[in-house]
Amino acid sequence: MAAEITYEQLNKLNAAYGSCIDDDRLEAWPEFFQDACLYKITTADNYRQGLAAGLVYADTKGMLRDRVTALREANVYERQWYRHLIGSPVIVECGQEGVRAETAFLVTRIMRGGKTDLFATGKYIDRIVVDSEGRIRLAERVVVCDSGTVDTLLAIPL
């Protein structure tokens, strides 16, 4: 199954993923995942120490949808925009369970007044699969943030 996934498809998936968030089409964001999935945001320190505790955790597409709903309802804060720059993937493994890949990312945040800052850098640790309808989906995306001080309380997905 994994043999069907090309490097170009991985790049297109990541580009579409970033664009979806940056264009504020958050309702479409869960569709990048399988129904049974793992989405987790953690820090590099936690990840290196093997700590399970993450900043965000979801293991079904429904939980991802709930997160988007919560974000929309909590939208009482100053409006912010994001911009994802995503590197080329490193393919770590390619087998029956899909493609395991790691990919560097950088996200900037644009405040209402126009001020732009470096919001987060890190890497995606992914497992990508082909679903029963032939579409490329994330079975797992663990977002490992380099810094331990990322403000993800109010944040959009990374």
Considering Cα of 56, then 59, then 62, then 65, what sign does the dihedral take?
positive
Backbone φ and ψ for 104, nearest 5 degrees, come out as: -70, 145
List binders of a copy of itself among 114-143 (CB under 8 A): 114-118, 120-123
Residues 27-66: x where in contact with a copy of itself by CB under 8 A, - otherwise, as a string: -----------------x----------------------
Size of the site for a copy of itself (CB under 8 A): 42
Query: For a copy of itself, which is the closer residue by CB, 58 or 125?
Result: 125
- Which residues sit opposite 98 in a β-bridge? 95
Instruction: Tell me if 25 contacts a copy of itself by CB under 8 A.
Output: no
Query: For a copy of itself, which is the closer residue by CB, 12 or 66?
Result: 12
Query: For a copy of itself, which is the closer residue by CB, 58 or 141?
Result: 141
Contact 2, 95 (CB under 8 A): yes
Give me the torsion for CA of 157, 94, 7, 90, rounded to 10°: 60
Using CB under 8 A, pick the residue from 61, 67, 84, 100 that binds a copy of itself: 84
Tell me which long-range contacts 71-74 makes (C-beta under 8 A, separation of at least 24): 71/26, 71/156, 72/26, 74/154
Considering Cα of 5, then 23, then 26, then 117, what sign does the dihedral take?
positive
Query: For a copy of itself, which is the closer residue by CB, 7 or 57?
Result: 7
Q: Which residues sit at the interface with a copy of itself, rule CB under 8 A?
A: 7-8, 11-12, 14-16, 18-19, 22, 44, 81, 83-91, 102-106, 108, 110, 113-118, 120-123, 146-149
